């Protein structure tokens, strides 16, 4: 069975991950790419952190963010959605890596002349599976095409990397409109956020108790993608953190980790 053709069952079992590692066996850095029209190319580094020879396949796809932050496939753009799939080029598309080996993925963008201002976004989806006892004619560390790579998928992992192309002078603001400790499940903190402007926001949520200087809890990599105007951020809390913040005055900071627009995005003081 070729890696390029997943069965419906395996596709349903595929794990979509936004963090750096996937099951501690697959790592890619950086975890997001943001480029302006004058930035034509960059690189990703893929590392096989597992103990087995693994085959990797990369594809570009359009995805949209739901209000709960989950990403879903997007067939056609909705109002305000600008996809970048037609402008993204990358190589290699398939590779086999031994345990501990790494591969550089070259990513470039081809923006047409006269492209309207805005933020264009699509995602690179990286899928992996141990080659196991499968037949693979490609040499480890070398790219493999559809004819040379044939494997039996024992397990499938995947993660997605947003590729964002910004054209023109764009800005964005965000607000934290409230937060609630859910009754069920008891470990969940729901933070309601809103976004306005012409680009997405990306950063960390930091929970700091009143009178303290260091956060009691930090959640990294919170994005609100265009064209979404609001998002409910669902944060699972360790039991000891929930106990510390329940009934206490708290400050929630949304701090940008976007190198192109760093700084505090939003802040709110409240009591849970």
Are residues 120 and 191 both part of a single domain? no
Residue 3 domain-assigned (yes or no): no
pLDDT score recorded for residue 24: 59
Nearest CA to 36 out of 169, 160, 125 is that of 169
Are residues 159 and 197 both part of a single domain? no
Are residues 183 and 221 both part of a single domain? yes
Q: What range defines the domain where residue 243 resides?
A: 172-271
User: Residue 29 pairs with which residues in a beta bridge?
Assistant: 45
**Rounded (to 5) percent helix, strand, coil in the chain:** 5, 50, 45
Quote the CA–CA distance of 63 and 160 in Å, as a whole number: 10
What is the chain's length? 272
Tens of pLDDT, residue by residue over 254-271, are 999 988 889 999 999 999
Are residues 163 and 32 both part of a single domain? yes
Are residues 70 and 187 both part of a single domain? no
Q: Supply the CATH number for residue 176's domain.
A: 2.60.40.10
Q: Report whether 243 contacts 181 (CB < 8 A).
A: no
Examine the fold and report which residue of 167, 188, 221 is the final residue of a domain before the chain moves on.
Answer: 167
Are residues 128 and 221 both part of a single domain? no
The number of folded domains in the chain is: 2
Are residues 138 and 189 both part of a single domain? no
In angstroms, the Cα distances linking 251 to 186, 205, 240, 268, 272 are 20, 10, 18, 6, 10
Are residues 38 and 153 both part of a single domain? yes
In angstroms, the Cα distances linking 56 to 43, 98, 130 are 16, 11, 9
Are residues 30 and 91 both part of a single domain? yes
Per the omega criterion (within 30 degrees of 0), is the bond before 81 cis?
A: no
Report the relative pairing of strands 217-224 and 263-271 from DSSP bridges: unpaired
Examine the fold and report which residue of 167, 184, 200 is the final residue of a domain before the chain moves on.
Answer: 167
Residue 129 domain-assigned (yes or no): yes
Residue 239 domain-assigned (yes or no): yes
Residue 265 domain-assigned (yes or no): yes
Q: Which two structure tokens, joined as six digits, stand for 175?
A: 């607000």
Phi, psi angle pair for 82, to nearest 5°: -125, 110
Examine the fold and report which residue of 167, 198, 213 is the final residue of a domain before the chain moves on.
Answer: 167
Residue 248 domain-assigned (yes or no): yes
Q: In the block, which residue shows the tokens 């105007």?
A: 229
pLDDT score recorded for residue 128: 83
Residue 145 domain-assigned (yes or no): yes
Quote the CA–CA distance of 189 and 179 in Å, as a whole number: 7
Per-residue pLDDT of the chain (272 residues; tens, 9 = 90+): 333 333 332 232 233 333 333 445 788 999 999 998 788 899 999 999 888 898 989 999 999 999 999 999 998 999 999 999 999 999 999 999 999 999 999 999 999 989 999 999 999 999 888 876 344 445 555 555 544 444 444 446 788 999 999 999 999 999 999 999 998 888 899 999 999 999 999 999 999 999 999 999 999 999 999 999 999 999 999 999 999 999 999 999 999 998 888 999 999 999 98
Q: Which two structure tokens, joined as six digits, stand for 167?
A: 């054209």
Are residues 137 and 55 both part of a single domain? yes
């Amino acid at each position: 069975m070729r890696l390029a053709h997943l069965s419906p069952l395996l596709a349903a079992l595929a794990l979509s991950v936004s963090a750096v590692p996937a099951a501690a066996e697959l790592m890619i850095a950086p975890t997001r790419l943001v480029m302006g029209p004058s930035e034509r190319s960059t690189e990703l580094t893929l590392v096989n952190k597992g103990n087995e020879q693994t085959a990797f396949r990369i594809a570009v796809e359009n995805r949209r963010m739901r209000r709960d932050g989950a990403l879903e496939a997007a067939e056609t753009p909705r109002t305000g959605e600008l996809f970048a799939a037609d402008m993204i080029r990358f190589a290699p598309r398939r590779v086999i890596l031994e345990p501990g080996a790494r591969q550089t993925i070259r990513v470039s963008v081809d923006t047409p002349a006269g492209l309207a201002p805005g933020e264009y976004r699509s995602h690179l989806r990286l899928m992996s599976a141990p080659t196991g006892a499968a037949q693979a004619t490609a040499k480890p560390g070398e790219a493999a095409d559809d004819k040379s790579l044939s494997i039996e998928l024992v397990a499938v992992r995947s993660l997605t990397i947003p590729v964002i192309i910004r054209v023109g002078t764009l800005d964005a603001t965000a607000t934290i409109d409230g937060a609630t400790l859910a009754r069920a499940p008891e470990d969940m903190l729901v933070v309601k956020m809103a976004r306005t402007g012409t680009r997405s926001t990306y950063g960390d949520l930091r929970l700091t108790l009143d009178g303290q200087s260091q956060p009691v809890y930090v959640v990294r990599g919170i994005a609100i993608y265009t064209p979404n105007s609001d998002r409910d951020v669902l944060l699972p809390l360790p039991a000891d953190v929930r106990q510390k913040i329940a009934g206490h005055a708290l400050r929630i900071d949304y701090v940008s980790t976007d190198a192109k627009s760093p700084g505090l995005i939003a802040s709110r003081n409240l009591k849970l």
